[in-house]
Amino acid sequence: MTDSTWHSANEIQGIFDRIAPVYDQLNNTLSLGQHRIWKLMAVKWSEPQSGNFGLDLCCGSGDLAQLLARKVGKTGKVVGLDFSQEQLAIAHQRSKEKYPFLPLEWIEGDALNLPFADNSFDCATMGYGLRNVTDIPRCLGQLHRVLKSGSKVSILDFHRPSQPWMRSFQEWYLQNFVVPTADKFGLTEEYAYINPSLERFPTGSEQVKLAYQAGFTHAIHYPIAMGMMGVLVATK
Ligand SMILES: C[S@@+](CC[C@H](N)C(=O)[O-])C[C@H]1O[C@@H](n2cnc3c(N)ncnc32)[C@H](O)[C@@H]1O
């Protein structure tokens, strides 16, 4: 049976290209500004140090990449990678205008086939990207490959809460706030995909198992925002 809510990589790329002009504004509205706090937590858990070489995978318009770049400082460097040209154009423009002093580089590429040598990075982040890739084990395998031994990746995404009442609240919130808000921007279809994508997304404990299967030596999943979001922290 065909799952009509399942998107191909090309469709996902198209969705994020179309969303790009309003992506940041919508994120602020839909999370009531909270996404900034969750992103700061994710960056902290990747344990960036001054002078590090960092990766922000599925960087979109570059929020996490710039937070990571602040931590590694002028002697370090952060690469933001995404396959949406439109998102990268905004990341590039924003970093040039707002924080030209940060050591950032933007690369168009595929999270399932990273254009980096093995053991390249000291730390890595990924925000709302893992749920969107078409092959999660492969993506974790790629992250494992490009990280140095002992380095951490911190992966922030939506999460289905374990308590039934919180799950119901999350579904209500997505259907009655997120989709109607996106509708005002003419992006109903683009945001209606969040709920089904979340239905398929591995739970925290499943993510931990997948991280071990990808070769990480330690993995832990932190539920945040009453379990509606989560951060997987995996150490190579
Ligand atoms: C929800 S956005 C998150 C953007 C940003 N990290 C943030 O937290 O705001 C997901 C991003 O993943 C990117 N993406 C999805 N699959 C990808 C893949 N296979 N390779 C590279 N980027 C991908 C999309 O283009 C999109 O920009």
pLDDT tens-digit map of 10-49: 888 888 888 888 888 888 888 888 999 999 999 999 999 9
Distance in Å, CA 62 to ligand 1 centroid? 10
* Rounded distance from Cα 153 to ligand 1 centre (Å): 16
Show the domain range for 108.
9-160+202-235
Tokens read off for 103: 């050591």
> By alpha-carbon position, which residue is closest to atom 25 of ligand 1?
84
Where do we find the tokens 């504004």? 25
The 10s digit of each residue's pLDDT in 184-229 is 888 887 788 888 889 899 999 999 999 999 999 999 999 999 999 9
| 214 within some domain | yes
The answer to whether residue 136 sits within a structural domain is yes
Give, for 90, the enclosing helix (H) or strand (E). helix 85-98
Residue 127 belongs to some domain of the structure: yes
Burial of 186 (0-12, 13-18, 19+ CB in 10 A): exposed
Q: Which residues does ligand 1 sit against, CB inside 6 Å? A: 9, 12-13, 16, 58-60, 63-64, 82-84, 87, 110-112, 127-129, 132-133
* 167 within a domain of the structure (yes/no): no
Query: Residue 31, by phi and psi: left (phi above 0), alpha (psi -120 to 50) or beta?
Result: alpha
pLDDT tens readout for residues 67-107? 999 999 999 999 999 999 999 999 999 999 999 999 999 99
Within a domain: 37 = yes
Instruction: Give residue 9's pLDDT.
Output: 87
Domain count, the chain: 1
> What pLDDT band is residue 5 in, cutting at 50, 70 and 90?
low
SS3 149: strand
**Kind and range of the H or E run holding 70:** helix 63-72
Residue 4's pLDDT band (cuts 50, 70, 90): very low
Residue 181 counted as domain residue: no
In this structure, is residue 166 part of a structural domain?
A: no
* Domain assignment of residue 61, yes or no: yes
Model pTM score: 0.94
Closest C-alpha to 151, from 41, 47, 43:
47
Looking up residue 74, the CATH number of its domain turns out to be 3.40.50.150
pLDDT category, 182, cuts 50, 70, 90? confident
Mind listing the pLDDT tens digit for each residue in 119-175? 999 999 999 999 999 999 999 999 999 999 999 999 999 999 989 999 999 999 999
**What atom of ligand 1 comes closest to residue 65's alpha carbon?**
6
Q: Are strands 121-127 and 218-224 parallel, antiparallel or unpaired?
A: unpaired
- Cα 225 to ligand 1 centroid, rounded to whole Å: 21
Does 1 score more than 60 pLDDT?
no
From residue 61, alpha-carbon distances to 16, 93, 196, 201 in Å are: 10, 9, 23, 23
pLDDT tens digits, 110-123: 999 999 999 999 99
